[in-house]
């Protein structure tokens, strides 16, 4: 295991969860909370113990030990789980698998809410450290936060390659610093270490359930970013993430929480900002700067995660193709999606100006986090039973306990609905409606196109019988098509209206496989359809859901025997079919969903750019279709 991989994981994977000590305890003991936790010794011990064991159960046990075993060819994340469920669904369990896949899609939709809230709460919480240094600076917190966020999104187009090498060292300094501050706090009041015993968490829950239950809505903030450990597994490997978590991140966060607890036991007024007050006076300004850098890194990670989720969702047919730019020549996962970037920036700035403080955003954040965690756990347990055949008693006892914890946290967050927890649910519902509407509308359009296009083989077989005779002109033509069964609309239009066809023709269908990447030897396959002598071939180009299709490059992989007749991607003309959608009278979809589907189709990326087609040799043939 290379040290560089572990350092890279520390810089990208743990930014979100590593900055949660800034605001978690502060939120639990917030006096303005609608269900405040009284400040006394027993409650401080109970809360600190509850935070520690929540982190151990959800992050260490659920994610690091269990969920990260479910990888799709090395890739993780909730979209990978959906793919595994769809691929493994069989007749007996197909209905349940599809229902859980839909639930997983809602979990992915919740992640969009997380992507909006994380930059807002993370940067706000770090800049709020200025109030500790100088209370008069409070009025500057929101403007400074807004400037940092605008700068953060403005540099996304440059990619993370240039600054990525600095992320790991910065986060190492961050974890060492918060651990040192935690140790200093514990040394002044070592009694706090008794909270390592789970009995304090259990006593707090059992003895003060009316108080402890509501505190869980803030306790869950300690596990924000747990999904990132799983989602980024393909980039840094499970072992590197495990070593980084157990070797540095978990100990550092634990020491920070216990140090803050010790400080609150000494001075109850420190509960207003225990993280920054735990820092020595001489180090508070450097800590604010370091915290700002760490939260920017945490925001960078979740923004990049949003780009990846959107890209994967488009590949799997849940979103239209969007313009995607690769920002690294060596790392395919580093992408930039302009539309999503600017949409996120506007959303994050709106949250900053609307909520104005990290405490006000905390409950919205908690709902997004616990919702995703609960769904991920459910999908994993189903996968473990149906495809890995884990013993039922293990899943009932162990899995039931984990789900019980998740549902308890979820129920606690439901009590904060009117205080902000509604926000990620609304965002998730809207994103879920967009994705399911696109999937449904895309299926309807496909069915309509199938009737217009007609079967492929009879069309080709009839080319020689056309009157007047079809003219075959010199050169090569590549017609992109959806599949093997139907005729490309552009090819049909070219033949029926122009009465011409190129001497050499390749009909290309691009398939997205349910794997992250496709080996080069499996990239392209050829079927001559029985018309090789007529210069017509059918080629299937395959790409993984984390890859961007490159049709010209794939065609260069054709063997000379397969491309007999002189197919040259460097000189060929490429033909695309464009469909202009309008709402029709059919009741196959309710009116508002039709309008949503058509509106969503307007943001579809240029197909020529998506398939890497040369602009100067690409011809687009349009057609209008009712939905």
Query: Are 286 and 218 within one domain?
Result: yes
Residue that has been written with the tokens 């490309």 in this structure = 488
Radius of gyration of the chain (CA): 28
Q: How many CB atoms lie within 10 A of CB 595?
A: 14
Query: Are 512 and 392 within one domain?
Result: no
Per-residue pLDDT, 433: 93
What does DSSP say about strands 471-481 and 500-513: parallel, antiparallel, or unpaired? Answer: parallel
Per-residue pLDDT, 91: 44
* Side-chain-facing half-sphere of 175: CA atoms under 13 Å: 24
Query: Are 404 and 484 within one domain?
Result: no
d(CA 348, CA 118): 9
* Overall size of the chain counted in residues: 627
φ, ψ of residue 467 to 5 degrees: the values are -130, 125
Query: Are 516 and 379 within one domain?
Result: no
Q: How many CB atoms lie within 10 A of CB 192?
A: 26
Query: Are 202 and 346 within one domain?
Result: yes
Query: Are 276 and 328 within one domain?
Result: yes
d(CA 52, CA 510): 48
Q: For residue 173, tell me if it sits in a domain.
A: yes
d(CA 525, CA 567): 15
Q: Which residues pair with 500 in a beta bridge?
A: 471
What does the pLDDT look like over 293-342, one tens digit per residue? 888 888 877 787 788 788 778 877 888 878 776 665 444 556 678 888 89
Q: For residue 426, tell me if it sits in a domain.
A: no
Low-confidence ranges of the chain (pLDDT < 50): 91-92, 329-331
Q: For residue 439, tell me if it sits in a domain.
A: no
DSSP state, residue 197? S
Query: Are 193 and 240 within one domain?
Result: yes
Query: Are 356 and 485 within one domain?
Result: no
**Total domain count, the chain:** 2
Which CA distances in Å does 453 have to 489, 545, 598, 603?
6, 27, 21, 25
Query: Are 507 and 598 within one domain?
Result: yes
Q: For residue 505, tell me if it sits in a domain.
A: yes
What does DSSP say about strands 536-544 and 524-527: parallel, antiparallel, or unpaired? Answer: antiparallel
From 405, 420, 435, give the residue that closes a domain: 420
Q: pTM here?
A: 0.78
Q: For residue 437, tell me if it sits in a domain.
A: no
Contact 268, 550 (CB under 8 A): no
φ, ψ of residue 612 to 5 degrees: the values are 60, 40
For position 308, which CATH number holds?
Answer: 1.20.1740.10
Query: Are 44 and 104 within one domain?
Result: yes
3-state SS of 123-163 is HHHHHCHHHHHCHHHHHHHHHHHHHHHHHHHHCHHHCCHHH
Residue that has been written with the tokens 């122009």 in this structure = 498
Domain that holds residue 565: 451-626
Tell me which long-range contacts 383-390 makes (C-beta under 8 A, separation of at least 24): 383/70, 383/81, 383/84, 383/85, 383/88, 384/70, 386/88, 386/93, 386/96, 386/97, 387/84, 387/88
d(CA 302, CA 115): 6
Q: For residue 446, tell me if it sits in a domain.
A: no
Contact 460, 484 (CB under 8 A): no
Edge to edge, the sheet with strand 618-626 lists 524-527, 536-544, 500-513, 471-481, 573-582, 618-626
Per-residue pLDDT, 442: 86
């Amino acid at each position: 295991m290379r040290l560089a991989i572990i350092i890279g994981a520390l810089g990208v994977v743990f930014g979100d969860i590593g900055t949660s000590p800034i605001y978690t305890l502060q939120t639990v003991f917030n006096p303005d909370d609608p269900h405040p936790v009284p400040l006394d010794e027993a409650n401080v011990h109970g809360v600190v113990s509850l935070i520690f064991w929540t982190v151990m159960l959800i992050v260490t046990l659920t994610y690091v030990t269990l969920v990260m075993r479910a990888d799709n060819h090395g890739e993780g994340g909730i979209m990978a789980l959906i793919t595994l469920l769809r691929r493994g669904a069989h007749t007996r369990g197909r209905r349940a698998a599809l229902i859980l896949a839909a639930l997983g899609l809602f979990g992915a939709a919740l992640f969009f809410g997380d992507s909006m809230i994380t930059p807002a709460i993370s940067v706000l919480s770090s800049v709020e450290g200025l109030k500790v240094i100088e209370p008069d600076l409070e009025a500057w917190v929101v403007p400074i936060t807004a400037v940092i966020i605008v700068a953060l999104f403005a540099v996304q187009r440059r990619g993370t390659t240039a600054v990525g090498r600095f992320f790991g060292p910065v986060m190492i300094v961050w974890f060492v610093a918060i651990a040192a501050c935690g140790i200093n706090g514990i040394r002044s009041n070592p009694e706090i270490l008794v909270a390592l015993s789970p009995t304090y968490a259990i006593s707090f829950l059992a003895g003060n359930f009316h108080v402890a239950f509501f505190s869980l809505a803030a306790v869950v903030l300690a596990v924000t970013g747990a999904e990132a450990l799983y989602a980024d597994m393909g980039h840094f490997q499970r072992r590197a993430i495990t070593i980084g978590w157990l070797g540095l991140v978990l100990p550092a966060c634990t020491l920070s929480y216990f140090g803050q607890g010790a400080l609150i036991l000494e001075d109850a007024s420190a509960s207003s900002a225990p993280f920054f007050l735990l820092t020595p006076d001489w180090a508070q300004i450097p800590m604010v700067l370091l915290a700002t850098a760490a939260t920017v890194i945490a925001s960078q990670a979740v923004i990049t995660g949003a780009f990846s989720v959107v890209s994967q969702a488009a590949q799997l047919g849940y979103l239209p193709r969007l313009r995607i730019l690769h920002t690294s020549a060596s790392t395919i996962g580093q992408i930039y999606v302009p539309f999503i970037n600017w949409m996120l920036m506007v959303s994050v700035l709106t949250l900053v100006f609307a909520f104005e403080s990290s405490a006000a955003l905390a409950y919205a954040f908690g709902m997004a986090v616990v919702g995703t965690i609960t769904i991920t756990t459910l999908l994993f347990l189903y996968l473990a039973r149906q495809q890995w055949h884990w013993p039922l008693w293990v899943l009932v006892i162990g899995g039931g306990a984990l789900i019980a914890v998740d549902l308890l946290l979820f129920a606690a967050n439901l009590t904060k609905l009117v205080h902000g927890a509604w926000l990620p649910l609304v965002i998730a519902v809207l994103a879920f409606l967009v994705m399911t509407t696109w999937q449904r509308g895309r299926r309807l359009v496909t069915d309509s196109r199938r009737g217009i296009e007609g079967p492929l083989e009879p069309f080709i077989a009839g080319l020689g019988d056309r009157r007047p005779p079809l003219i075959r002109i010199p050169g090569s033509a590549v017609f992109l098509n959806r599949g093997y069964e139907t005729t490309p609309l552009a090819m049909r239009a070219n033949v029926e209206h122009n009465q011409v066809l190129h001497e050499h023709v390749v009909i290309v269908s691009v398939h997205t496989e349910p794997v992250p990447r496709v080996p080069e030897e499996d990239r392209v396959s050829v079927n001559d359809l029985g018309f090789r002598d007529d210069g017509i071939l059918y080629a299937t180009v395959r790409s993984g859901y984390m890859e961007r299709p490159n049709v010209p490059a794939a065609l260069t992989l054709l063997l000379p025997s397969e491309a007999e007749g002189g197919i040259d991607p460097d000189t060929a003309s490429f033909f695309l079919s464009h469909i202009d959608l309008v709402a029709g009278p059919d009741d196959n979809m309710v009116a508002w969903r039709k309008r949503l589907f058509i509106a969503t189709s307007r943001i579809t990326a240029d197909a020529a750019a998506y398939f890497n087609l040369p602009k100067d040799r690409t011809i687009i043939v349009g057609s209008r279709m009712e939905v």
